[in-house]
């Protein structure tokens, strides 16, 4: 899901950037069941915060935890 959103926004992220975002996404989606819409919104939010400068994996995860 993260990769398709990146492709849609044409964001200039490197492989390491994508891998970090995917790890955060998988960690957060593994905590509770989510609908497809919730998963898509989460992926979009992860990318938004990452592109706004939240580049630390633990900080990004904590920021998005319920």
Q: What is the pLDDT of residues 9-48, one digit of tens each?
A: 656 788 999 999 999 999 999 998 999 999 999 999 999 9
Give CA–CA dist 30/27, Å, rounded: 5
pLDDT at residue 63 in the model: 95
What Cα–Cα distance (Å) separates residue 6 from each residue in 33, 37, 44, 50? Answer: 23, 17, 9, 12
Beta-carbon neighbour count of residue 1 at 10 Å? 16
Number of domains in the chain: 1
pLDDT at residue 66 in the model: 67
pTM to 2 decimal places = 0.79
Domain that residue 54 falls in: 2-64
Give CA–CA dist 46/52, Å, rounded: 10
């Amino acid at each position: 899901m993260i990769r398709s959103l990146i492709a849609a926004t044409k964001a200039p992220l490197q492989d390491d950037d994508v891998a970090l975002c995917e790890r955060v996404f998988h960690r957060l989606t593994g905590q509770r069941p989510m609908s497809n819409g919730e998963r898509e919104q989460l992926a979009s939010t992860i990318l938004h915060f990452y592109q706004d400068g939240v580049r630390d994996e633990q900080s990004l995860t904590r920021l998005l935890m319920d």
